[in-house]
Chain A
């Protein structure tokens, strides 16, 4: 194979060395956290004072990730079945179809996304209630 000496091609890759003196592109993870954007599709939130227990979210979820369960107290007097959704994160794929279909927009996705646990059963996730917080604040 005839091959001419390509000095430029040999030397030029070494120009990458200049990045040794630049700021790193990575974050120092545990100390510095990435900011997620507003409409990131993370863990579910449910405003139980608005949820009407219609079960549409359970119906559209193709992964069967949503169960309708009995809450301790029914927060919405208009809740027609007195049930609220619970999500199995072992199955959920964060497609957000359930939040799109929710007629009262009580179900939303937050922008939190990290969950570490050694217990697989903890992935059965009782959706945190956002209405409670508002009451505490008020």
Chain B
């Protein structure tokens, strides 16, 4: 409270270094304690959903990856799978394996980004430097596979765009070996760091009831004690044939979520190793689509889901029998995490913890606004 016994109102963001993208949290402060909070978005609305309605399918495919900046591939996969459901396209087996591999690689790159952000929000700046450098090695592989580093535009309705380059799986295996040696280093500087533990244990508690009621997804839900993962309960692509564990915790604070993400990173390595072994040697990787003006989809609707590193992305798609989609609605994890969960979680907390909690919930405005 200030001199006149009033609450102080501040805007945390959109130009705050601790914020995860272009959004702002309007906070009422009593001293350092948060009394009331509300999230505001609207700095990044690009109208992708409307644009998709105006474009033919191949044309629309180039913008869906831009819906989420750190994780383009789950979006591409969702879009492709939705179109395949609607149009009744059967995808070749090898394409499915490659897609699974790309998705799992994507989960690893975005775990690195999360690690960078989480460290940055605590002032532990060694984390961003290491994590971004290590992520870059994965981006190099992406560059080789897809021709681009961040927006790959690789998973395409009907398959993937090109076959694996020569020696790709070998390089991927080498990179996984390297990541495995790096993980103990991260343990030392970050996960076992006494300062991080002191800050994170007990901060940002999400009770199991809140988690269920708000429809929370991903690591936040798993940290609250629910063993739920789309890859397990609604398996897509090749996840049925792969072995992996789903980590759970019950503490449901920032630290528990950090450990869950660390464990998921290890599971990603495990999954990728299986994929390297099981990847079919040859076979087609895509089916040829018709010319984009003649590629019409029968009327129908579908709902597809993909597990990204922050939780479930789900797309509702409706087609009207023309070559364009009637509607594509995107729901990412942040819609819930940032809009309705975050204000509730930070209430009663400290101003200095806002950035850390925000990062730990995995909020990301681009997918709220599309």
Residues of B within 8 A of A95 (CB): 62, 153
Say whether B14 faces chain A, with CB atoms less than 8 Å apart. Answer: no
If A36-B143, A37-B143, A40-B143 touch, whether A8 touches B126 (CB-CB below 8 Å) is no
* Chain B residues positioned under 8 Å from A94 (CB to CB): 148
How many angstroms from the CA of A26 to the CA of B62 in the assembled complex?
31
B188–A16 contact, CB under 8 A?
A: yes
Taking a contact as CB atoms under 8 Å apart, the answer to whether B197 and A97 are in contact is no
A121 within 8 A of B: no
Tell me if A9 and B193 are in contact (CB < 8 A).
Answer: yes
Nearest-CB distance from A81 to chain B (Å)? 18
Q: Which residue of B lies closest to A8 (CB)?
A: B192
Chain A: interface secondary structure? loop
**Does A60 have its Cβ within 8 Å of any Cβ on chain B?**
yes
A10 at interface (Cβ–Cβ under 8 A)?
Answer: yes
Residue contact B162 to A15, C-beta cutoff 8 Å: no
User: With A and B bound together, what is the CA distance between A16 and B292 in angstroms?
Assistant: 53
Complex alpha-carbon distance, A25 and B143, angstroms: 18
Q: Count how many chain A residues have C-beta atoms less than 8 Å from C-beta atoms of the other chain.
A: 29
Would you call B284 an interface residue if the criterion is a C-beta within 8 Å of the partner chain's C-beta atoms? no
Partner of B188, one of A13, A25, A96: A13
B197 lies within 8 A of A12 (CB) = no
Check if B143 sits within 8 Å of A93, measured CB to CB: no
Binary interface encoding of chain A residues 94-115 relative to chain B, with 1 for a CB under 8 A from any of its CBs, else 0: 1111001100000001000000
A96 touches B185 (CB 8 A): no
Q: Which residues of B contact A10 (CB under 8 A)?
A: 194-195
| Contact between chains at A39 and B194 (CB < 8 Å) | no
Residue interface bits B176-220, CB-to-A below 8 A is 1, else 0:
000000000100111011110110001000000000000000000
Question: Smallest Cβ distance from B83 to chain A, in angstroms?
Answer: 15
Q: Please determine whether B194 and A97 come into contact, CB atoms closer than 8 angstroms.
A: no
Q: Tell whether A6 is near chain B: CB-to-CB under 8 Å.
A: yes
- In the complex, A3 has a CB within 8 A of chain B: yes
Most buried by B among A36, A39, A60: A39
Instruction: Judge whether B9 is part of the interface by a CB distance below 8 angstroms.
Output: no
Is B58 an interface residue, CB under 8 A from the partner?
yes
Measured CA separation A93–B162 after assembly (Å): 19
B147 contacts the other chain (Cβ, under 8 Å)? yes
Bound: A100/B149 CA distance, A: 19
Query: Which residues in B have some Cβ–Cβ distance to A below 8 Å?
Result: 55-56, 58-60, 62-63, 126, 133, 140, 143-144, 147-148, 151, 153, 161-162, 165, 185, 188-190, 192-195, 197-198, 202, 292-293
Residues of A near any B CB (own CB < 8 A):
1, 3, 6, 8-10, 12-13, 15-16, 25-26, 36-41, 59-60, 62, 93-97, 100-101, 109
Q: Nearest 9 A-B pairs (CB), nearest first?
A: A9-B194, A62-B59, A95-B62, A41-B147, A6-B194, A12-B188, A10-B194, A37-B144, A13-B189
